């Protein structure tokens, strides 16, 4: 059985708590980004770009059964690491569970407090795009509603 969003968030908060030094936390974030599979270049287009990020971030989501699958990439290491944390929490979850979560790991880990205002805005933009994808892929969205590939 897949882990719940809460279980994954708790793991991330625990991992963050192991670091006292700010630079160690940044290194952890960068290392998370290195775990992501590269995004297929066909999705590195404006249609999949997250608006509101200073760095380039491409985000794709699609449904596999009742689960939302996420693919993400960025042109900078820190932003890719932040995106990887969101991917880790939300990839493979049900769209309705994604819409219901408040992503408490961000506050509980202190992640946002370690980010510049521009990166914090980028994090918010990624979350917003992921929520739009979840809404589009949710079973409650009527046929002919939102199209996840054009959000």
For the stretch 25-53, pLDDT in tens is: 999 999 999 999 999 999 999 999 999 87
Instruction: In whole angstroms, give the CA distance from residue 82 to residue 116.
Output: 12
Instruction: In whole angstroms, give the CA distance from residue 122 to residue 101.
Output: 19
Asked whether the whole model's pTM tops 0.85, one would answer: yes
Q: Given pLDDT bands bounded at 50, 70 and 90, which one contains residue 149? A: very low
Q: Which of 4-8, 76-80, 110-114 shows the lowest mean pLDDT across its residues? A: 110-114
- Residue 113, CA atoms < 13 Å, CB-side half-sphere: 7
Catalytic residue among 5, 53, 78, 148: 53
Question: Is 53 known to be catalytic?
Answer: yes
Domains of the chain from N-terminus onward: 5-150 (3.90.1010.10)
Is the pLDDT assigned to residue 57 strictly greater than 70? Answer: yes
Cα separations in angstroms, 119 against 113, 130, 135: 10, 16, 24
């Amino acid at each position: 059985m897949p882990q719940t969003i809460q279980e994954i968030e708790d793991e991330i908060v625990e991992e963050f708590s192991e670091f006292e030094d700010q630079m160690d936390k940044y290194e952890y974030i960068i290392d998370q980004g290195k775990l992501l599979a590269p995004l297929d270049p066909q999705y590195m287009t404006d249609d999949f770009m997250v608006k509101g990020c200073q760095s380039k971030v491409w985000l794709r989501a699609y449904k596999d059964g009742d689960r939302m699958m996420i693919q993400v990439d960025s042109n900078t290491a820190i932003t890719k690491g932040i995106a990887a944390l969101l991917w880790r929490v939300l990839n493979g979850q049900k769209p309705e569970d994604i819409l219901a979560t408040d992503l408490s790991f961000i506050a509980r880990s202190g992640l946002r407090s370690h980010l510049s205002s521009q990166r914090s805005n980028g994090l918010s933009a990624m979350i917003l795009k992921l929520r739009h994808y979840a809404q589009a892929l949710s079973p409650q969205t009527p046929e002919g509603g939102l199209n996840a590939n054009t959000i």
